[in-house]
Structure 1
Amino acid sequence: MAVHRSRRWSFGGLALLVSAGLASAVLINTSDAATNRANAATVTTTTTFSDDFDGAAGSAPDSAKWSLETGGSGNGNHELEYYTNSTSNAALDGKGDLVVTARKNTDSGLQCWYGTCQYTSARLNTAKTFTQKYGHFESRIKVPKGQGVWPAFWMLGDDLGSVGWPGSGEIDVMENVGYEPGTVHGTIHGPGYSGAGGLGAAYTLPNGTSFADDFHTFAVDWSPSAITWSVDGQTYETRTPADAGSNKWVFDHPFDIILNFAVGGDWPGNPDSSTSFPQTMTVDYVHVTTSDSGSTSGSTGGSTGGTTRTGAIKGIGGMCVDVAGGSSDDGTPIQLHNCTGNDAQKWTLGSDGTVRALGKCLDVKAASHDDGAVVQLYTCNGTSAQQWTYTSAKDLTNTGADKCLDAKDNSSADGTRLQIWTCSGNANQKWTVG
């Protein structure tokens, strides 16, 4: 985990700040299998917050959704930037993105904790406009690059002004520091586990790839019992109240969303001669969703599901659902295989109705509704071919076709291809998760 800052709240923002998340993943019903399948078709995912940053190039972020903080306090981390409310630091690009830009400062009147500010940047929050307890929080972001840059997508508790930090809680969905171009960190902070002692983990891209090279999707699923982090749909960390030990688990009240681009500070260190400016953090969207199988609370109301499930999916003969060859290519077959515990057999049943492995979704080929239509791994696209419900009868039902995941020919042989088929209650359609 990252050994980093003592706190990330801003002194000027104490009166604001709240956010949320969720770890809804699967619908568990208590009625019979037929009723479960009927209910599956009525399960809905509710969007409680959405900004796709559509608007004219150069326009400011939507003030009905975002507040722009200002100041150069260093935010408890000895950061070097002065946060402004200017469109020179936060503006839409006219292509459906928010661009947060860090620049070298040319205004001698801007004063930071160390003197005349060296850089300007932006920090946005939803504390005045949107807060929520539990949910799925997701953003697609292309991060900046260079020594000393520190972009983040994170959340703070709505009781910050009354209990302070870290008692209010903090959920860091994504942080990246420039000297680790291929790594992001997901962390929680609370009383007794904050700053360098925060509970977290890192996710590193394969093959030396840098996060600044392209957009990536960062998300948390947050429920009363767990917080789960993912990158591009691939789960890499889960934290539960047990991880806090004897300390208080403070993730039981509304939080708000924060996007910011810090420059310098105790964790990333300061920019050096190799760092070019301006640098940009480009945000494609921020979405928050809940499902209707449970309850949530927040300024927008709504509802949420239970707990995200991550692990092996086992079927007939105790065999595991497996991505053939461990390939993440679109169209890779899904099969039964001896259980090995590798990433090709680690699935996440998400609050958005998807079933994911290796950063992609379980998909019915060609969105077919026919018996015998094969399932495959495919880039997540939000279609009904990728919507699934897991029932108390242990059916894994594709809600688009209203048919069950099925092991072909009732076989438990290694390499048996998986398909959809009219739900029959047979052993080759029964699955256990985790």
Structure 2
Amino acid sequence: MASPRTLRRCLLAALSAVLLGSVAVGPAHRAEAAGTGAAAATFSDTFDGPAGSAVNSSKWTQETGDNVNNHEREYYTSGTNNAALDGQGHLVITAKKENPANYQCWYGTCQYTSARLNTSGKFSAQYGHVEARMKIPRGQGMWPAFWMLGTDIGQVGWPNSGEIDVMENVGFEPSTVHGTIHGPGYSGSAGIGAGYTLPNGQVFADGFHTFAVDWAPNSITWSVDGIAYETRTPADVGGNTWAFNKPFFLILNLAVGGYWPGDPNSSTAFPAQLVVDSVSVTTSDTATGAAIKGLAGKCADVAGANSANGTPVQLYDCNGSAAQKWTVGSDGTVRALGKCLDVTSGGTADGTPVQLYDCNGSAAQKWAVSAAHDIVNPQANKCLDVTGNNSANGTRLQIWTCTGGANQKWTVG
């Protein structure tokens, strides 16, 4: 019997493939579906391989050395000492209290080793849904992160390159993670961000969680387990340059110590592990998502391109605007303008309208796609439907008992 983890991956792949009309491709390549103009996950690593084997070098580069800028304590190594597959479909980045090769750090002889991986020169993206499913370590001084840097960092330097921190955690906050942007005039301790705290005293190190951003022109929205908790736009950077409308590459690392987390102490247990289940980037060849076409060849559209909660989703002439660019989240959501396609008030009755709303992980925002091109809300077991089979611009979309009618059929292109 397939494991729950394998079934989850298969279902998510099927959802994306049917809705986006995608084809399977090799690592870190864009998939362009003939006749659709859509693309599948442009980057995916599920870390399948024998226990003890190295990370895929066609996708990742392992950085080496120390980091004086943050006053981190570790020395990043290559090979499998600190970054290896576990044979169960995970990459394990391990921080150890050791110095097997007399490594020298900014403060003298290094006390710790760890690993830092990036996709520079192998993969970059501009816009899309960027996520990692991980279990972070616990302990004072631990600093796991999943983040991105502008590909032009070699030319313009940091922070002009821009930095998007999808997830950072510092060990003294076991229940909280942070999402932050850094750019010219808002970097380091002046970075702009927010935290997300698990409810009821839960601790991130106790299980896997999905950390993501939905990134579009002039907008970045952060989420944990499908729940959006922060959106940033150029209005937030105080008149400084918005540094995020360009390609970025990915970084995964586990730092030890530094200005923000502080150093490990006697309570910190080593080795400490960041366990990564998967990393993926889903986008399209238009860089902002793909149109969902329905009745009379018209598009699912966010009315007025308004990202406010409760904005109607309607049928409208396809026009290529951001209000008609949709991406599929690995959590079963369908997203535009940084928010989710939502069944109003979680209704299940025929005729319940759909709207745009903050992503919140509820069943009202989960969608499944059939091979017959129905888009179904499983909670209601009903189809996305054009009200009254009316192809006029502005006709509201709703859920309705699946009939097989043309007003319930959807393609991407």
Fold-level match, TM-score > 0.5? yes
**What is the aligned partner in structure 2 of residue 362 from structure 1?**
365
1:107 shift after superposition? 2.5
Mapped pair 1:158 → 2:181: no
Q: Aligned partner of 2:365: which letter?
A: L
Which of the pair has the greater relative contact order for Cα pairs under 8 Å at 6+ separation?
Answer: 1
Structure 1 pair 170–286 and aligned structure 2 pair: CA distance change class (3 A): same
The letter of the residue matching 2:92 is V
Which of 41, 44, 47 pairs up with 2:41?
A: 47
Structure 1, residues 233-261: CA drift from partner, whole Å, max 9, x if none?
11111111121231011112111000000
Residue aligned with 2:269, SS = coil
SS of residue matched to 1:322: helix
Return the match for 1:311 from 309, 312, 321. Answer: 309
Match of 1:322 in 2: 345
Q: Who is 1:130 aligned against?
A: 123
Question: Does the Cα contact within 8 Å between 1:155 and 1:257 map onto a contact in 2?
Answer: yes
For residue 136 of structure 2, the aligned residue among 135, 143, 150 is: 143
- Specify every segment of 5 or more residues in structure 2 that has no aligned partner in the other structure, as ranges: 1-18, 21-34, 292-304, 315-341, 409-413
Q: How big is the shift at 1:357?
A: 3.0
Which residue identity lines up with residue 55 of structure 2 in the other structure? P
Indicate the SS of the match to 1:161.
Answer: helix
How far is the alpha carbon of 1:180 from its aligned partner? 0.6
Q: Supply the distance in 1 between the matched residues of 2:74 and 2:383 (Cα, whole angstroms).
A: 43
SS of 2:200 mapped into structure 1: helix
Aligned residues: 331
Q: Which residue of 1 aligns with 2:181?
A: 188
Q: Which amino acid aligns with 2:65?
A: G
Aligned residue for 1:245, secondary structure, equals coil
Residue 67 (1) aligns with residue 61 (2): yes
Structure 2 Cα separation of the partners of residues 320 and 363 of structure 1: 9
Relative to the length of structure 2, the TM-score reads 0.70
SS for the counterpart of 2:345 is strand
What secondary structure sits across from 1:132 in the alignment? coil
The correspondence of residues 165-244 of structure 1 with structure 2, limited to 5 A, is 165-244=158-237
CA distance in structure 2 between the aligned counterparts of 1:273 and 1:347, rounded to whole angstroms: 46
CA distance 1:360–1:182, shift in 2 (3 Å): farther
Once residues 228 and 245 of structure 1 are traced to their aligned partners in structure 2, the CA distance between those partners, rounded to angstroms, is 18
Any conservation in 1 of the 2:52–2:84 contact (CA below 8 Å)? Answer: yes
User: How much has 1:73 moved relative to structure 2?
Assistant: 3.0
1:405 maps to 399
Shift of 1:46: 1.6
- TM-score after normalising by structure 1: 0.67
User: Which of residues 357, 367, 379 in structure 2 aligns to 1:376?
Assistant: 379
| Residue of structure 2 in register with 1:271 after alignment | 264
Cα gap change, 1:175/1:388 in structure 2, threshold over 3 Å: closer, same or farther? farther
Q: Does the 8 Å contact 1:233/1:360 carry over to 2?
A: no
Aligned residue type for 1:65: K
Structure 1: runs of 5 or more not aligned = 1-25, 28-40, 297-302, 325-332, 338-344, 349-355, 379-384, 398-403, 407-418, 430-434
Distance change >3 Å, CA 200–CA 183, structure 1 → 2: same
- Distance in 2 (CA, whole Å) between partners of 1:61 and 1:226 is 32
* Aligned amino acid, residue 272 of structure 1: N
Q: 1:264 to 1:364 in 2, by over 3 A?
A: closer
Give distance in 1, aligned partners of 2:207 and 2:349: 28
Whole-Å separation in 2 of the counterparts to 1:392 and 1:190: 44
Contact 2:63 2:76 in 1 (8 A): yes
CA contact (8 A) 2:313 2:396 kept: no
Q: Secondary structure at the match of 1:257?
A: strand
Q: Deviations over 1:312-344 (max 9, x none)?
A: 35599xx981237xxxxxxxx68999xxxxxxx
Per-residue deviation, 1:157: 0.6
Task: Give the Cα–Cα distance (whole angstroms) in 2 for the partners of residues 152 and 346 of structure 1.
Answer: 30
Q: 1:108, 1:117 within 8 Å by CA — same for their partners in 2?
A: no
1:106-143 Cα deviation digits (max 9, x unpaired): 32611110011111000000002111211211110000
